[in-house]
Copies of this chain bind each other. A is one copy, B any other.
Amino acid sequence: MKKKRYEKLAEDIAALIHGGVLQAGERIPSIRSACAAWTVSPATVFKAYYLLESRGLIQARAKSGYYVQTQPKASGLASSIATTPSEQGAVKTPTIVQVSDLVFSLLESVRDRSIVPLGSAFPDPALFPVQRLAKSAAHALRFVQPETLVTDMPLGVVELRRQIAQRYALADVRLSPDEVMITTGAMEALNLCLQAVTKPGDYVAIESPAFYASLQVLERLQLKAVEIPVGPQGMDIDLLQQALGQYPLKACWLMSSFQNPTGASLSDASKQQLVELLTQHQVPLIEDDVYHELYFGTQPPKPAKAFDHDGWVMHCSSFSKCLAPGYRVGWVNAGRFSQQVQRLKLMTTISPSIPAQAALADYLQHGGYDRHLRKLRQHLQQQYQAMVAAIQRHFPDDTQISEPDGGYFLWLTLNPAINSLTVFQQALVEGISIAPGPMFSASQQFGHCIRLNYGALKVEEIEFSIKRLAGLIDGVG
């Protein structure tokens, strides 16, 4: 059998090592210079290096590159199972078995503060008015009525619900404070909504790519995902309509604005069409709208809820992405499903923290929320511009970059030859986290896509990190 090109290259390099041209501990050529030197593609070099590594001849070192093993293993014994870099480095390489395991690996990596958090789901905590919130907490708690600690539990602190109803009004949704139920973040709200309208085995329409947590919830509740593609204009509503004809969908779960991971938003017309379509089929829409305050323009996007006249839209959001991460205060306006959702909450967590709610209610009244949001939006837009510029400078020319109008995620489509899971593993070794495409897919698609968080780094850190990541992608390609 004719040897493949990378196998030939690996043999050549092995010969250099055995011949003493490349000595133990010596750095071997970077992927880029190897390409130039041997006129091969980056993919060929990467595969060759991977093979050499699996044979114990070279090893990856964190934040550096590939080196000749100091004690080369017997070179003839090519293991069919590659030794993953992590077994030598400090960072654990995940076992990629299913979405949940991959997601948990990512979450663990993000927790490690020495890792550059491009894969994080949270923006830089320094962007939030932590001290001003503390002042509000102190003020609110000084005047809290002890009995409200119990009586406010089912729906949440009334002043907070009133403030949220006011903000809904700005987004063209009119409702009373009693139609808002406070939850432990939007995540709880979304979980409760899906649970309220489904049974194990049911079909649920979700986006493709989708926020990974929605995939985990479907896994946990044993629901079947009907994946509807998301383009630059959001979910493909024509395909959703087809799916409604093909499957007895029990819910449709989506992010209507600044979708995670693509950043795409539906237009107002599409939102209206979506709500009308689902209402007509009596299929509840679970609308995850956690990024709605993070728009770049001058006007907030309308939620799909604004077009809901019959209560089929369950609108979920939170303060975690725009004001108070860690406070774990979200909410749901569950339309016609409000009672079921409330009862499920009382059966599982009863209530989110009342002091945290009281603090936010005080802040919303007196803290200057709109001023904070203006600054935050401006800052995120600067980070966005810095990251796009850095990617254009350093990433391969064939990289496609999404063009979000808000939020803090970029979705990159790389050359199809690039395996984003390999990039994920290699980047972790180098001290950078990214979110690889398959995390966002029930069917493990988007193998050559990655999600980057531009809100997680200071503007001045972006260039350096993107450059390092680009170098690494060159190596993998």
Give A residues with C-beta under 8 Å from B: 100, 104, 107, 111, 113, 120, 122, 125-126, 128, 130-131, 133-134, 137-138, 141-142, 144, 146-154, 184-185, 187-188, 191, 200, 213, 216-217, 220, 324-329, 343-344, 346-356, 359
Contacts and interface: CB of A to CB of B under 8 A. Distances in A.
B355 A326 contact: yes
Contact of A141 (B126, B138, B329, B348): B138
A227 to B, nearest CB: 19
Nearest to A339: B104
A147 B187 CA distance: 20
B142 A134 contact: yes
Nearest to A153: B326
Contacts of A351: 184-185, 326, 328
B126 A146 contact: yes
Given A107-B154, A184-B184, A328-B352, 10 more contacts: A126-B147, A134-B142, A134-B355, A149-B325, A149-B327, A216-B347, A220-B348, A326-B354, A327-B355, A349-B349
Nearest to A128: B146
A147 B134 contact: no
A145 to B, nearest CB: 8
Contact of A350 (B104, B151, B154, B185): B185
Contacts of A144: 130, 134
Contacts of A191: 347-349
Contacts of A148: 326
Contacts of A350: 184-185, 187, 328
Contacts of A147: 113, 125-126
A57 B326 CA distance: 57
A122 B149 CA distance: 10
Contacts of A328: 184, 349-354
Candidate in A152, A324, A354, A356 with the most chain B CB atoms within 10 angstroms? A356
Contacts of A153: 326
Nearest to A356: B353
Given A125-B150, A152-B326, A355-B355, A217 B141 contact: no
A144 B359 CA distance: 15
A184 to B, nearest CB: 4
Contact of A187 (B149, B154, B348, B352): B348
A195 to B, nearest CB: 8
A290 to B, nearest CB: 12
Contacts of A185: 349-351
B138 A150 contact: no
Nearest to A131: B142
B107 A346 contact: yes
Nearest to A129: B146
A105 to B, nearest CB: 12
A277 B199 CA distance: 35
Contacts of A354: 326-328
13 contacts: A120-B150, A125-B149, A130-B146, A130-B149, A184-B328, A184-B353, A188-B349, A191-B348, A216-B347, A220-B344, A326-B351, A352-B353, A353-B356
A147 B114 CA distance: 12
A415 to B, nearest CB: 32
Contacts of A220: 344, 347-348
A191 B141 CA distance: 29
Contacts of A151: 111, 113
A237 to B, nearest CB: 28
A413 to B, nearest CB: 28
A359 B356 CA distance: 10
Contacts of A146: 125-126, 128, 130
A351 B320 CA distance: 11
A217 B347 contact: yes
A356 B354 CA distance: 9
A25 to B, nearest CB: 32
Contacts of A100: 343, 347
Contacts of A128: 146, 149
B355 A137 contact: yes
A200 B324 CA distance: 37
A142 to B, nearest CB: 5
